[in-house]
């Protein structure tokens, strides 16, 4: 039971970290184009993928 509680707390913290990273003021900061792709899209999908990767890592971690 204690392990599930720690995982739940870490995932909640990750969600709270992701909220400001994906809201408009921060999302509007990157400007320009990189190899024909808007940097805003790269930022959006990079942060999104990073949050998914961190959530998977937290959920699958052993002995934490």
pLDDT at 24 > cutoff 80:
yes
Phi, psi (deg, nearest 5) at residue 16: -70, -30
Asked if 11 and 58 count as a contact pair (C-beta separation under 8 A), the reply is yes
The mean per-residue pLDDT over the stretch 24-42 comes to 94
* Residue 42 within a domain: yes
pLDDT at 63 > cutoff 70:
no
Phi, psi (deg, nearest 5) at residue 49: -65, -35
Q: Which domain holds residue 43?
A: 32-64
Residue that the structure tokens 């940097």 belong to: 39
Report pTM: 0.86
* Residue 56 within a domain: yes
pLDDT category at 4 given cuts 50, 70, 90 is confident
* Residue 63 within a domain: yes
Name the domain count of the chain. Answer: 1
The mean per-residue pLDDT over the stretch 32-58 comes to 96
* Residue 61 within a domain: yes
Token pair for residue 52? 């998914």
The mean per-residue pLDDT over the stretch 34-49 comes to 96
The more confident residue out of 3 and 10 is 10
Token pair for residue 17? 């970290």
């Amino acid at each position: 039971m204690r392990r599930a509680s720690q995982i739940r707390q870490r995932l909640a913290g990750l969600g709270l970290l992701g909220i400001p990273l994906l809201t408009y003021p921060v999302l509007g900061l990157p400007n320009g184009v990189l190899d024909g792709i808007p940097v805003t899209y790269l930022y959006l999908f990079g942060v999104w993928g990073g949050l998914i990767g961190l959530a998977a890592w937290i959920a699958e971690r052993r002995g934490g």
